[in-house]
Structure 1
Amino acid sequence: MNAFVEGVRDILPAELRKRRAIYQTIREVFEANAYREVITPTLESLELYAGIEGLVDKSEMFKVVDDRGQILVLRPDLTMPIARLAASRFQDSPRPLKFSYLSSAFQSKNSQSLSLKEKTQAGVELIGSDSLESDLEMILLLIKTMQKVGVEEPLVDIGHADLINEIFADLKIAETEKKELRQLLAAKNKVGIKNYIKDIEVTEDAAEVLLRLPSLFGAPKKVVKELEKMPLSTETKDALKTLEKLFNKLEEFEALKYITFDPMLISRHGYYTGLIFKGYAKGYSNLLASGGRYDNLTEKFGVEEPAVGFALEIENLLDYLNRTENFSEDLEKRFLISYQQDKDFKLASELAEDLRNAGFVTEVYNGADSKYLDFQQVDFVINLEADNLELKQYGGASAKIERNQKEALEYLILNKIEEWE
């Protein structure tokens, strides 16, 4: 029997310790910025995700049927449940709402988190504000969060949903032609674009714009200047001005060095209405975060209001940190206590409890060999002998402490460890 399911995985103790340390860091950043954590149900109604363009195809959702015949799905996305929560449970609450989450999402096909069917995301949503400052807050918070978890050189690639829509409107491209063109432009496929526009009706100006767009990405202000020289409408240039204001603000915060601008940046989520951004680390190709503005999403629940947010891809982030070893875990020291005489079991247990109360991980176990100590990641071994306590730094120094100072044993142990360090 094959008991393994492709696309899911066990999380073992060493990785879980690292995850918990990263989770704690992320939560501390979010909470310090006034984003309160919520947990939404793992099971949601299929109707919640119905009719949302570009969200997740129904064929990619995991579906179950409850005892009343209602079709439910394992949540494929974490933004939709937050939008539902805001429009229902917090309908009368003052705006803006600031929520954070750290949960799993499920998709049968997932290109963003190492092809896993179950992915972990940590993110924030700011609902009820359409200000430029809200967009700025999202970008700065993403940069700060990535830095806190060990991304030394974060990169945030910025685009704008309205910009590409306005450019297509300017060029008067038929709806049937837009989807493939978007993909070719996003892939910077100049040859593909050149061949494609031979078979569709576009003006010379439109052809010029389409052929130049794949080369326009990189330093934000430089790209903006190049776009302003192109034969684009007033509406398109207005969208550019909005982005330019954001770039100026980022420059004020000395954050523009982390930013690139890609006018053709697209997201697989079709609900974005304005700012779009993706987070990366220099030298690492997988996506670490994605986000943007989705001002029309809550309309599905009868309450139309602006919103912006982002989600970190935890599996990709862990993969990056494992490769770079940039994240330093503040791990608790781990002790193992053994004893030689049965009567010392009580003393061993009491000493173990004292060390636990002092913030250390401690177990009492006789007969541990080196394999066991390695597996349990033990730092210090304490052996209760007849007259002494032997303290060993696993793989290092050792010392003897007299047992007649029972009340001071914990102090003497910790004092000796401090000397070694």
Structure 2
Amino acid sequence: MRTVGLIVEYNPLHNGHLYHFQQSMKVSSAEAAICVMSGHFLQRGEPALAGKWARAEMALAMGADVVLELPVAFSSQPAEWFAYGAVSALDACGVVDTLCFGSESGDIGWLERAAAAVCDEPEPFRRLLREELAAGRPYPAAYSRALARFMPGVQEAELAKPNNTLGLHYLIALRRLRSRIRPLTIARAKAAYNQTDISDASIASATAIRKLLAETGRPEAAAPYMPLAALAILEREWAAGRAPIDWSRFERPLLHRLAGLSAAQLAEYAEVAEGLEHRIKRSLATLPPLSGGAVEALVERLKTKRYTRTKLQRTLLRILLNHTKPELSREVLSRGVPYLRVLGFSERGRALLRAMKKAAKVPVIEKVTTEDSPLLAMDIRATSVYALGYDAPDSRDLLRDYYEPPVRTP
């Protein structure tokens, strides 16, 4: 069956996501959809508002057929590796015909040209990128500026928009993997990716919805902006004490790790570089009393022109989850996903899974005990850490990967 692939976080799933899903099915003429979804921790270095099984259930209720987990080794990476991991998962399925992603421009032509120009990272482009980094710019800004200089017809402002940036890296990943998947894009409607205010009666960004939920403390406040089924799942998780999850829930375990590790030990963790370990240790003594705001205060103390909030959140997440540099080396990440972890499927998805198990380039797993992979071990640890953010976690929550079957819907 003709199948479209979607790369998602659904944090939470809202009406804009529903629009993207419906348009993706339409423009790709797809009969089925596979979502590669981030697990408990997301691309900006943040915990998901609700856990991976709840968000997979939201996706299936919307109409998705199979939901696969993007390993945490990729899900909390900068755009290049986030995109590479997600695209490698779709490519490894062996049944995906098209990838449809949202973008601010809605025009895939210039993104394709830019991807072709820098896919192999020619030396003139690398030189420009080094110059921009030497000027003290954060990597995403340096990359956009260097590419605009390398391709004068491309506007830096357009490159810097978050979904355009991700789209560019999806296209680069498709080229590097020599994938047969055909890319398509759909323009975002009515709300920008990180827009914090709400300007439409039914569509708001996930950022604005999370802000609204934090301000009101009531899941029903999001009712105008979420499909009914997704809202019902969020309300259920909220009532069970499994939502809303944010960084404040991990204040004590994070600070326990930071206080217990020496600067030299901190330097062994992924994303810790250029003396940041010393800056972290110095900042610990200046934090306010532990009352839910210590992580935010730490990020504020660590921020510089070079170290953005997102960069620092990813760094703190790597320390919290015990991700060392060797575990997330370029060599490891360049291999792509070593397995396809199924979080959920529909009745039509059951047939799609049968086809995947014959065509897939890597194992398709529904039970974690059937596969032994360092990246899967990282996912299992991430679930245990994430459960510490629940109101009243139990031992089964900490080991839920071993007990929870894929979500199934009719």
Q: What TM-score range do you get, normalising by the shorter chain?
A: under 0.3
- Between Structure 1 and Structure 2, which shows a larger proportion of strand residues? 1
* Bigger Rg, which one: 1
* Structure of higher RCO (CA pairs closer than 8 Å, 6+ residues apart): 2
TM-score between both structures, scaled by the size of structure 1: 0.25
